Amino acid sequence: MIDVLIIGAGITGSLIARKLSSYNLNVHVLDKENDVGNVTSMANSAIVHSGYDPVPGTKKAKFNVLGNSMYPKLCEELDVHFKMIGSLTVALYEEQLKLLENLAERSKENGVKVKLLSADEVRKLEPNISSEVKGALLAPTAGIVNPFTLTVHAMENAVDNGVCLHLNEEVIKIVKNGNFYNVVTKSNSYQAKVVINAAGVHSDQIHAMVEPIDYQITARKGEYFVLDHYKEGLVNHVIFPLPSEKGKGILVSPTTSGNYIVGPSSEINDDREDVSTDKLTLDEVKRQALDMVPSIPFNQAIRTFSGNRPTPSTHDFIIDFAKCDKHFINVSGIESPGLVSSPAIAEYVVNELVSQVLTLTKKESFNPYVRKRIDLAKLSYKERNELIKKDPNFGYVVCNCEKVTLGEILDELSRSVPPRSVKALKKRTRAGFGKCQGGFCQPLVIKALAKHFDIPCSEVPLDGPGSEICKFVTKGGNDK
């Protein structure tokens, strides 16, 4: 019998699993995708918000501020790139200055330190900002993070501490059977004392399998540009416009990998699985971004992408027991600022909710640290050469754009939550994330995956089952 079954392996589900793994419990995680963090958690702005914006007194405000304070230690333990670079919310018109003052007052209510800046002070911090800028709100505790590694390493740490992960398991039915729930997927069934619903854009549908619900989740699509490693200093902070009813607006920000990200749009999406992009929407993203930073080199854009945010009709996070039973816990509607809120949400769910229905005893062997990644970019030339002498695979460059070696790929494949697709490996190592977008390295990546899993190249998927890239062998080639 499973003690706790978590549905959803995004950042929230992964961090809840990690927290639960510190107790003597039998914990399992289901996800319908072929990798963890494969939906909303991988297609967001990667911003660690300071917490000045959410309405005071809401769950969003509470968990945003608490989560922000947890990030430095969390990212140290999970070996994740994180930089507290601060954010600037800019006013481009005189009439917007009053709105900045209102945000500053809200910041005080939320317990977030901010500073109102004059136009000259903004220009000193951001030389490329629009000449029309009238002022800005500086939030020093905002930051940027690698959301791919964060989610993967959170789940990896959970698995290292005893959690069982089941991928490609889409839940189709949940039935209460006496003192436990029978959770049925397309291929298996699982019996659990407690179920935690962290299913992202599908969390209302999962909840509705248990009882009638009085809210709904709407997928709100956000489309983005990613710019190449252009140059340092295009922007030094996360640059926001003033927020609106649609969200925080089009931002311009550095990333932890040295790229820049511009977006997102914010439009209701009737198809929760649709992550397409379109020119009209991206043109509007571009226009709004150029209003703030006129020198953005969109000719350096190497990729566009989109993600769906689970927007709840309640306008706040839904974190509570089901009405019918305390053994079913909903963690639903975790839209922005969900990424930054997730560690605090995990603490609350376990300490305040799960503790009411299960006895929690600390696991003496729990280790909060993951095995550190081998990151050649962080090593000196001497350290790299020593590593290559020990293992020549670290001298064989697979991805020239991002300088990813075969040794780094093999290291990722040896971990407890290994990548099982081209996309999953890309998220972990950045192989294929560069200017050519895998045009040159993808065949080598496919070969590395095929060899590790001892399968033909024609069975290596781009993402999930059915997305295989190589269909057949030509000209007498070898399929392995």
Question: Which band of pLDDT confidence, cut at 50, 70 and 90, is reported for residue 182?
Answer: very high
- Give the total number of structural domains in the chain: 2
User: What is the percentage of the chain residues whose pLDDT exceeds 90?
Assistant: 94
Is there a single domain that holds both residue 139 and residue 236? yes
Residue 391 lies in a domain: yes
Mean pLDDT over residues 71-78, rounded? 98
Catalytic residue among 49, 81, 153, 202: 49
- With beta carbons less than 8 A apart as the criterion, state whether 450 and 460 touch: yes
Residue with tokens 């909710």: 353
pLDDT of residue 308: 96
pLDDT of residue 232: 87
Distance CA 380, CA 386 (A): 10
Is there a single domain that holds both residue 136 and residue 238? yes
Does residue 429 have a pLDDT over 90? yes
Tens digit of each residue's pLDDT (9 = 90 or more) over 266-325: 999 999 999 999 999 999 999 999 999 999 999 999 999 999 999 999 999 999 999 999
Is there a single domain that holds both residue 246 and residue 127? yes
pTM assigned to the model: 0.96
Is there a single domain that holds both residue 107 and residue 250? yes
Is there a single domain that holds both residue 440 and residue 294? no
pLDDT of residue 246: 58
pLDDT of residue 247: 63
Q: Among this protein's residues, is 202 annotated catalytic?
A: no
pLDDT of residue 106: 97
Is there a single domain that holds both residue 301 and residue 381? no
Tens digit of each residue's pLDDT (9 = 90 or more) over 25-40: 999 999 999 999 999 9
Q: Tell me which of 81 and 249 has the higher pLDDT.
A: 81
Does residue 249 have a pLDDT over 90? no
Question: Which band of pLDDT confidence, cut at 50, 70 and 90, is reported for residue 245?
Answer: low
Is there a single domain that holds both residue 138 and residue 235? yes
Does residue 479 have a pLDDT over 70? no
Residue 439 lies in a domain: yes
Does residue 474 have a pLDDT over 90? no
The residue from 278, 306, 334 where one domain ends is 306
Tens digit of each residue's pLDDT (9 = 90 or more) over 331-369: 999 999 999 999 999 999 999 999 999 999 999 999 999
Residue 315 lies in a domain: no
Residue 76 lies in a domain: no
Is there a single domain that holds both residue 228 and residue 133? yes
Angle (deg, nearest 10), helices 338-348 and 11-20: 30
Structural domain of 229: 81-143+219-306
The residue from 306, 336, 360 where one domain ends is 306
Sign of the CA dihedral running 144, 337, 273, 154: positive
Residue 60 lies in a domain: no
Question: Which band of pLDDT confidence, cut at 50, 70 and 90, is reported for residue 477?
Answer: low
Residue with tokens 């649709």: 274
**Peptide bond connecting 264 to the previous residue in cis, omega within 30 degrees of 0:** yes
Is there a single domain that holds both residue 276 and residue 416? no
pLDDT of residue 378: 86
| CATH classification at residue 294 | 3.30.9.10
The residue from 280, 306, 332 where one domain ends is 306
Residue 126 lies in a domain: yes
> Average model confidence (pLDDT) for the chain?
95
Residue 180 lies in a domain: no
Residue 107 lies in a domain: yes
- With beta carbons less than 8 A apart as the criterion, state whether 412 and 420 touch: no
Is there a single domain that holds both residue 286 and residue 381? no
